[in-house]
A and B are shown apart, each in its own frame.
Chain A
Amino acid sequence: MDARRPWIGYASAAALAGACTVAGLAMRPRFDIVNIAMVYLLAVVVVALKFSRGAAVACAALCVAAFDFVFVPPQGTFTVADVQYLLTFSIMLAVALVVSHLLARGREESEARAAAALEAETERVRSTLLASISHDLRTPLAVLTGASSTLAEEGARLPAAEREALARSIYGQARELSEQVDKVLQMTRLESGAIALERDWASLAEIAGTVLRRLSDRLATHRVLVEVPADLPLVRVDAALVDQALANLLDNAARHTPPGTLVRVRARVEGDGIAVSVEDFGGGLDARDLERVFAKFQRGGHEAPGSGMGLGLAICRAIVRLHGGRAWAEAVPGGGIAFRFTLPVEPPPRAPAEDEAA
């Protein structure tokens, strides 16, 4: 049903009534008039199914008129000689009304159900968000308030080492807080469609190198293996966003797997795209959780609080989708998770010409 252009319904009603009349004329030599009425009835049902109630009633009226004028004796007039045809007319009108009424009710009900489901989902997200915020934002805020007020009010009486320790915990918590707030803002931007991709040629090896350097402190507890082939083609992406997507996967691995375990970053050509993966060997998740972890504010399995707000993977997936790729997780044999995403590859740009022998 196209609510914006109601005239289409009426136009279709008229066209179908006309088509039925033509068909009826063709049937006339061999079929009974009652069967021709059936063809008109079919048109009424079709219009009632596809368009508004008004169009259905209009179609029924047009069909009755055409049927009466062309086929019902005396032909060429609207006079009805045989009273039984009045029943035919009434049935056509009744069918139009009943079908369009049933459909309208069905539509309203399914819209109401969808609205209720959406509301429930929104409510669920809102309450998880609130729970998450109260935990992951309030803890650092408590530290910030407590430690900084201690410094401001008792600083002069504290030993220098104590002052520095307080200041450092303020610094650490503030950075964590800033990271979480960035993620909330980024998720909001991605969801509202406020992000326009700034695509340019980029090298995944370069992006991986930058991310590993930036996260080197956090990843210092893990063994990181990088496997990026030297001849990997360039990709046309928003490098800053792909950087974030990869960083979130690595951050995720660092947060959720035990120190000393291996984290493997790989990129390779797969089909007509490039597949990037971050594999960890930290125990893995249930098959059900492998998909669930990509939802907002979800943490895998039984995570301890303070392990992040559960936005990193959702952001990663949103970024990858924006680029026309796919992001998912699968189990690694032996207990681990491989987080993978793909990016489409475009025909490579013209390379700069320089005689290497020069």
Chain B
Amino acid sequence: MTEPRATILVVEDDPDIRRFVAAALRAEGHQVAESADARRGGIDAGTHKPDLAIVDLGLPDFDGLELIRRIRAWSTMPILVLSARSLERAKIDALDAGADDYVTKPFGVGELLARVRVALRHRARTAGGGSVVRMGAAEVDLARRVATREGRPVHLTPIEFRLLECLARHAGLVVTHRALLTEVWGPTHASDTHYLRIYLKQLRDKLEDDPVRPRHLLTETGVGYRLVPDE
């Protein structure tokens, strides 16, 4: 599958990390704008109008989080966050501030490019796109509210549909617990994580080939869930 070339803004203060990230993106055929701090990043985001921004969370001048909020104030461009390991809280805050996904340092460039591809595709799809989600032997038509597995109909409850819809809208990207709970059950249930545990299990039991080792409805421990459909 060939991906369209895109303009990508990389906001990262460490020159070595910036170098290999930019090199890998250019090797993929993308145009890269590089900023070493958040202030510069904010300006570059305005002038270059990139298709995607990659933002390091630990920037020297002001926080990467603040930059994400500022970009979100005027743009829907996908934002990928680079964050240090084991800082689930920081990842969640970044996602809640408007980031679309994260890559944990240290990361291999393959992982980064995969995330970039998903985020760019997400942007291309937001305009419209199919409502059918394919997950191995299962297929869910969100518009017609029909689910099948190996050709046979599968009954999904209204809440299961809504949950799947919310995940599918961000196909390939992580969605935080809070975002899912707020959207499906409403803001008063924003911290009832156990609802998600129960419903994701139901969805996996109905749709995954091996519910204990799911391949499509993935858990991002401590952060949220990610729906990875078949292409």
Contact = CB atoms under 8 A, between A and B. Distances in A.
Interface stretch (B51-59, B121-129, B214-222): B214-222
Interface in A166-211: 171, 174-175, 178, 182, 186, 198, 200-203, 205-210
A260 to B, nearest CB: 20
A178 B106 contact: yes
Given A198-B88, A209-B213, A230 B205 contact: yes
Interface in A39-54: none
A202 B213 contact: no
B200 interface: yes
Contacts of B222: 198, 238-240, 243
A352 B195 contact: yes
A351 to B, nearest CB: 6
Interface string A202-225: 110111111011000000000000
B75 interface: no
Contact of A171 (B108, B185, B192, B214): B108
Nearest to A352: B195
A210 B198 contact: no
Contacts of B221: 207, 210, 239-240, 243
Contacts of A210: 218-221
B1 interface: no
B2 interface: no
Contacts of A207: 219, 221
Contacts of B195: 351-352
Contacts of B200: 206
Given A240-B86, A240-B88, A206 B213 contact: no
Interface string A226-239: 10101000100011
A270 to B, nearest CB: 19
Interface residues of B, number: 30
A3 interface: no
Contacts of A234: 194, 197-198
B85 interface: yes
Contact of B219 (A200, A206, A230, A352): A206
Contact of B193 (A174, A200, A230, A348): A200
A243 B106 CA distance: 19
Nearest to A189: B86
Interface in B188-231: 189, 192-195, 197-201, 205, 211-214, 218-222
A161 interface: no
Nearest to A208: B212
B68 to A, nearest CB: 22
Contacts of A203: 197, 201
Contacts of B212: 205, 208-209, 226, 228
A108 interface: no
A82 B200 CA distance: 93
A110 B197 CA distance: 53
A334 interface: no
B159 interface: yes
Nearest to A354: B159
Contact of B201 (A206, A349, A354): A206
B158 A209 contact: no
B76 interface: no
B66 to A, nearest CB: 24
A358 interface: yes
A226 B108 CA distance: 29
B131 interface: no
Interface in A222-281: 226, 228, 230, 234, 238-240, 243
Nearest to B185: A352
A90 B185 CA distance: 83
A307 to B, nearest CB: 22
A243 B185 CA distance: 27
Interface of A: 171, 174-175, 178, 182, 186, 198, 200-203, 205-210, 212-213, 226, 228, 230, 234, 238-240, 243, 348-349, 351-352, 354-356, 358
21 contacts: A182-B86, A186-B86, A198-B89, A198-B222, A203-B197, A203-B201, A205-B201, A209-B213, A209-B214, A210-B218, A234-B197, A234-B198, A240-B86, A240-B88, A352-B185, A352-B198, A354-B157, A354-B159, A355-B157, A356-B157, A358-B158
Interface of B: 85-86, 88-89, 106, 108, 157-159, 185, 189, 192-195, 197-201, 205, 211-214, 218-222
Closest CB pairs A-B (n = 10): A201-B194, A240-B222, A352-B195, A349-B194, A203-B197, A210-B219, A243-B221, A206-B219, A200-B193, A239-B221
Given A348-B194, A351-B198, 16 more contacts: A175-B106, A182-B85, A200-B193, A203-B197, A206-B197, A207-B219, A208-B212, A209-B213, A210-B220, A213-B218, A226-B212, A238-B222, A240-B222, A351-B195, A352-B189, A358-B157
